[in-house]
Structure 1
């Protein structure tokens, strides 16, 4: 097993108010409707278990399920940290969404690193991480499009 990583950083200013953006980003029922590959999120207090559909990565296909310890500093920050009590999970996310009012809208900054332990050789790191980055970027782009549509922007 080798660990592979992909990072997603982006920023955008939305026309929607911070409370509307916050409501979308903290709704575990709505997020799967807006996010490709995300089947569902199960919530148990501050532990959110994210269940994704099958995603092709080189010669492997993964269907990750991972548990994140979520921190909510309303209305400015949502933090993600992989649950340390789940060492058997082969996927996790570390990072945050940071929101700040900008005029009548909201500036959103995203910095997330996704990691996955895969039964692929270390020599395939560049190829695997390139594929992972493409999948993560595509998911982010589609999520952003769906979120803007949901917000009426």
Structure 2
């Protein structure tokens, strides 16, 4: 097994209140509905088990589940780190943050930083190709997440602008 990693960082100014956004992103069922790669999120206190849909790379398809320790600081920050139950070996995990900064009562900056790791039965020399697929998939997932969040908030997505860490700008 080889561990492959990909990180996606994005920032968007969302024309909605921080509380409205927080109510959605801190709800495991809503978060799963908004995120195309996630099938379900099952909370058990501070530990949430994330079940991914099938992900394919270089002829290998996996649908891992993994456990995350969630630290919620309402309504400003959600942080999570991979924490598998004792005695288990989960083949994937994530860590990251959702930071919500109130700009006005009707405007919030949403910063999302996600790193996904997966152990796959592929050789190390395939790292560049696999991580490129992972990055592309995560980017598309982030774009779909933004569209679904706007729809859920009842906002016209044509007005949103997202800035990524790589300097790319995505306009809805």
Query: Which TM class, normalised by the smaller chain length?
Result: over 0.9
1: CA distance between counterparts of 2:11 and 2:37? 22
1:94 and 2:124 are equivalent in the alignment: no
| Alignment: residue pair count | 153
1: CA distance between counterparts of 2:89 and 2:146? 31
2: CA distance between counterparts of 1:32 and 1:93? 14
Partner of 2:45: 45
Structure 1, unaligned runs of 5 or more: none
Q: RMSD in angstroms over aligned alpha carbons?
A: 1.1
2: CA distance between counterparts of 1:60 and 1:147? 30
1:95-149 C-alpha deviation (Å, 9 max, x unpaired): 1011110122110111111000111000000000000001111111101100111
Structure 2, unaligned runs of 5 or more: 156-172
2: CA distance between counterparts of 1:138 and 1:34? 12
TM-score (normalizing by structure 1):
0.96
Partner of 2:62: 62
TM-score (normalizing by structure 2):
0.86
2: CA distance between counterparts of 1:143 and 1:15? 16
Partner of 2:124: 122
Q: CA deviation at 1:84?
A: 4.7
Q: Among 110, 113, 121, which residue is 2:112 paired with?
A: 110
1: CA distance between counterparts of 2:35 and 2:84? 25
